[in-house]
Chains A and B, each alone.
Chain A
Amino acid sequence: MTVVTFIQHDGSERMVDGDAGLSLMETALKHDVPGIDADCGGGAICGTCHCFVEVAGDLPAPDSQETAMLGLRPDRADNSRLACQIVIAEGMADITVRLPEFQM
């Protein structure tokens, strides 16, 4: 079981069990973790599930669509990702992501 930790902008943390096959965005919504808007429903075309990956095993690199959307974020950092594009795989290492103050 992969444990997913979401750190809110105010520092509060929430640890949930991640189901294989769900993205981090879907995992957050399933557990009512605030801070992710997911306006497009999961296609890397709205940018409102932006997160900063703090701790993780090896993740596949973002594709060109995700990179394009991240490129619009004024608060983009080196560890920026879209939570809808990180899908939990069987046996994946635990992952910790920090959420931005706002989605836009």
Chain B
Amino acid sequence: MGMPASSETPDYRALPLSELDISDPRMFQFDYWHDLFARLREQSPVHYQPASPAGPFWSVSRYEDIVAIERDTETFSSEPSIAILDPEPDMILKMFIAMDPPQHDDQRRAVHHVVAPKNLKEFESLIRQRTAAVLDALPENEPFDWVQLVSRDLTTKMLATLFDYPWEERNNLTEWSDMFTNDERITAGEGVPRAVIIEHMTACLQRFTELWHERKGDGREAFDLIRMLQADPNTANMVDDPLTYMGNIMLLIVGGNDTTRNSMSGGVVFLNQFPEQMAKVRAQPELIPSMVSEIIRYQTPLPHMRRTATRDTEFRGQHIRKGDKVLLWYVSGNYDAAVIERPNDFWIERPNVRNHLSFGLGIHRCMGNRLAEMQLRILWEEALARFRTIELAGEPERTCNLFIRGFTRLPVRVTRF
């Protein structure tokens, strides 16, 4: 924050409002988005951009306005997509995050159990063992990439556990997730062409269809997301509808991947930017749960979600037409000083620290939120218990993606007690 990462950073304070480009993912890659959203919150909180690689769209940047739209699911639908890009006619994956009630409610309930806190207790010691093993294997006193060796590795292992996915093939899950979220139209052209994405999605569907049939009726008492879908009457035949099966699988893979991964990396960056907060949490480890919520706010790994207007409507004086795309900028709301006190401070003792937008709000609120919080809590409990220092060993490299705010590389050096 505060450091202009590129000489090409647009001057968001001086540009006319009509020239602001809110679809350029380089604002996250080079970390210059703060000024853009500060300007929008102040001068154009419900802002229309007439042209972008994904077409025209509205941007909603104030916390309270985002909350108001999250409530009104009749006017602001999650169909046909919660990403700025519309689904391609030849591959409309059906996922409950992009469905309205009542269909949404049935599908969500079918898989909610697996990440419900009751079951998380069962997972906790397993996650702790795996986290400890990953941290114990890190090199000491020499730089390594925290993204690869910690964040990616831990989230991949967690996903493989939730799906009971063949362990030696587990990196597939992360690769598929990365494919799915890297369309070239939201990555300033740096992403993956559609043909390649479809090739990988097809492979993913094939593998998960095999796993479904292997598990169906094998009589084993096991507990994983595939068996949960099979056990619920609402989803017991989901495999017969490949687009729905694939949609749910991708939703769970992506939902459990970029989000937690990037918050795992972000925490290291923030604790280095705010060393007094690092000192505080070392002195008072009971602050770790509160710090986890603050990390999730400060990172906001999914910077926005899209809604689509189902009718013409007036909102804060703007005329939104039926069919318009409306982006809810969680990353902006999370830094809105009207609601968040001293928003630019990473402050682990923040009052009401859980009140942030990173999980979304309303019926689409993140289903895996308690799992994510637990993974992060365990990571920091284990890391602070082991490492005397956790220092940045170079500049972080950030993701160039409009939908994902995160890190591609994070050089870190640790020393042990």
Contact = CB atoms under 8 A, between A and B. Distances in A.
Interface of A: 37-41, 43, 45-47, 65, 68-69, 71-72, 74, 101-104
A74 B355 contact: no
B359 A39 contact: yes
A72 B355 contact: no
A69 B73 CA distance: 12
Interface in B357-385: 359, 361-363, 365, 369-370
Given A72-B105, A102-B370, A39 B354 contact: yes
B242 interface: no
B70 interface: yes
Chain A binding surface, main DSSP class:
loop
Given A41-B352, A43-B67, A101-B118, A68 B101 contact: yes
Given A38-B354, A104-B112, 6 more contacts: A41-B352, A45-B67, A45-B70, A45-B362, A72-B105, A102-B118
B109 A102 contact: no
Nearest to B117: A102
A72 B109 contact: yes
Contacts of A68: 73, 101, 362-363
A74 B234 CA distance: 14
B398 interface: no
Contacts of B92: none
Given A39-B359, A40-B355, A71-B105, A45 B365 contact: yes
Contacts, number: 54
B352 to A, nearest CB: 6
Interface of B: 67, 70-71, 73, 101, 105, 108-109, 112-113, 116-118, 352, 354-355, 359, 361-363, 365, 369-370
B354 A37 contact: yes
A66 to B, nearest CB: 11
A101 B117 CA distance: 9
29 contacts: A37-B354, A39-B369, A40-B355, A40-B361, A41-B352, A43-B67, A43-B71, A45-B67, A45-B70, A45-B71, A45-B361, A45-B365, A68-B73, A68-B363, A69-B362, A69-B363, A71-B105, A72-B108, A72-B112, A74-B109, A74-B113, A101-B118, A102-B117, A102-B370, A104-B112, A104-B116, A104-B117, A104-B369, A104-B370
A72 B99 CA distance: 14
Contacts of A38: 354
B71 A41 contact: no
Query: What are the 7 A-B residue pairs with the smallest beta carbon separation, nearest first?
Result: A102-B117, A45-B361, A41-B355, A39-B354, A45-B362, A104-B370, A74-B112
A68 B73 CA distance: 10
Nearest to B362: A45
Contacts of A65: 71
A46 B367 CA distance: 11
A68 B361 CA distance: 12
Contacts of A43: 67, 71, 361
Contacts of B116: 74, 102, 104
A12 B116 CA distance: 23
Given A38-B354, A41-B352, A102-B117, A72 B363 contact: yes
Contacts of A71: 101, 105, 363
B123 to A, nearest CB: 13
Nearest to A45: B361
Nearest to B359: A39
B357 to A, nearest CB: 9
A74 B144 CA distance: 42
Contact of B361 (A37, A46, A101, A102): A46
Nearest to B353: A39
A46 B369 CA distance: 11
Given A74-B116, A102-B118, A104-B116, A39 B355 contact: yes
A65 B362 CA distance: 8
Contacts of A39: 354-355, 359, 369
A95 B369 CA distance: 30
Nearest to A29: B352
Nearest to A69: B363
